[in-house]
Amino acid sequence: MNRMYNSMEPRVIDDDMLKVAVGEQGPREEAGQLAKQEGILFKDVMSLQLDFQNILHIDNLWQFENLRKLQLDNNIIEKIEGLENLVHLVWLDLSFNNIEAIEGLDTLVNLEDLSLFNNRISKIDSLDALVKLQVLSLGNNQIDNMMNLIYLRKFKCLRTLNLSGNPIAEAEDYKMFIYAYLPDLVYLDFRRIDDHAKKMAEMKHQYSIDEMKHRENQMQIKQEEEQARRMKLEEHKMAFVEHLDDSYLFDSMYAEDVEGNKLSYLPGVGDLLAAYPSQ
């Protein structure tokens, strides 16, 4: 079940909370005493634990610019926000909160392990920037659309997925569907995926998967062509010769030339104008 507001007053992350957390989680013994005397700079902190603090809003974390691990589980957080500066984050735990939507993760391009276990999420999306994602825990949420799982195909590094406790996990074809459409997964719902079961699933869904792969390949080709076009245009802009390798210059001569456009009505000129771009 999701955490509900308790008798404690909801809290935000302020400097006092952060100083206490950093002090308690910092170095011990002689090094710890020295750190207390001189103070620990937030930018030097690599790991931060803020669980069970009754936190309602994520805030004031911008100073932790080198943070690698952040623990915000077991709070009452409703919205993923305030994480923009944590670009080096590798591990993020937001489990056992009241989050309804996946958002606010666009800058976390180095994230490898993300837990959103036991929240109120109904749709898997807005993870596109997490290209290094290896572990994703979305168990005990409200995800009910099996086709939504196809979105996870784009995460080529994803090896561990937890969706137990969601409505889709009750579907008859749940596991076979995931085995077939997410072939690179190694673990699903805390269990290693059996190679034989994976082959059976691929055979069962082979026709649909082949069609999907074809569409994905076509899309990939278009994206690569568009990327190459943009790169070429940037090169030409640097040399101040953009668009001079196609019919842009020729077309621009007639774009606002009313008199010139009248030439296209002369016999044979229309055919010449139509043939020019391809020749």
* Encoded tokens for 195: 């190679």
Q: What is the pLDDT of residues 203-220, one digit of tens each?
A: 888 777 877 777 777 777
Q: Which amino acid is at 203?
A: M
What is the reported pLDDT for 232?
Answer: 75
Which residues, in sequence order, are bridge partners of residue 205?
Answer: none
Name the nearest CA neighbour of 2 among 122, 114, 84.
Answer: 122
Per-residue tokens: 202: 């691929």
Q: For 141-145, which contacts have Cβ atoms below 8 Å and span 24 or more sequence positions?
A: 141/116, 141/117, 141/165, 141/166, 142/166, 142/167, 143/167, 143/168, 144/168
**Is the pLDDT assigned to residue 68 strictly greater than 50?**
yes
Residue 263 has pLDDT above 70, yes or no: no
Q: Which whole number is the average pLDDT over 20-33?
A: 63
Most confident range (mean pLDDT) of 26-35, 79-88, 228-237, 242-251 is 79-88
Q: Taking a C-beta distance cutoff of 8 angstroms, is the pair 103, 125 a contact?
A: no
Q: Which of 96, 90, 88 is nearest to 3 (CA)?
A: 96
Q: What is the mean pLDDT of the segment spanning 215-238?
A: 76
- pLDDT band with cut points at 50, 70 and 90 for residue 71: very high
Supply the DSSP symbol for 69. E
CATH number of 11-205: 3.80.10.10
Burial category of 15 from C-beta neighbours within 10 Å (exposed 0-12, middle 13-18, buried 19 and up): exposed
Average pLDDT, the chain: 84
Report the alpha-carbon angle 60-129-126, nearest 5: 80
In degrees and rounded to multiples of 5, residue 113 shows phi and psi of: -130, 120
For residue 216, what is the enclosing H or E element?
helix 206-238
Residue 274 confidence (pLDDT) above 60: yes
